[in-house]
Amino acid sequence: MKRTLLMAGAVLWGCAGTEAPQDLPGSGSWGVLQRGDEKIDVYRDRWGIPHVFAGTVEGAFWAQGYVQAEDRFEQMEQFRRGARGETAKVAGEKALAADTDRRMRGYTAPELRSMFQGGKERFRRILEAHAEGVYA
């Protein structure tokens, strides 16, 4: 369980960056996101960093996934491909060794599913909400 939480935290932390992109929509302003009946306020400060204000924990993680994908979808896709051993599909032959290594030593889909299902309900709801926000 601790391993699953650590992995999820590492994924979320790893996708955060240190440089604020200059072309973010709504920099220095408020915006509203809609998740079903819930309205979620997002403020982007002068550096473009989103601050999420939601009425529910799931709403906050959904919005965090949404703004994270808005800012860093390409980076998230690169990490996803790397974790699955699918980088060579876009990077070419130079990535084959890393892909082969990841496929041999990385987690299988059933192992990942088992770790997710072994987590507490609140943990699963949070990760599901985040993923829904990423793909919203």
pLDDT, tens digit, 9 for 90 and up, residues 62-103: 999 999 999 999 999 999 999 999 999 999 999 999 999 999
Q: What is the mean pLDDT of residues 28-35?
A: 94
Cα 91 to Cα 95: distance, rounded to the nearest angstrom: 6
Cα 98 to Cα 78: distance, rounded to the nearest angstrom: 13
Cα 61 to Cα 86: distance, rounded to the nearest angstrom: 27
Neighbours of 35 (CB within 10 A): 19
User: Per CATH, which fold does 2-6+22-134 belong to?
Assistant: Penicillin Amidohydrolase; domain 1 (1.10.439)
Cα 24 to Cα 96: distance, rounded to the nearest angstrom: 34
pTM score, two decimals? 0.75
Number of H helices, E strands in the chain: 6, 3
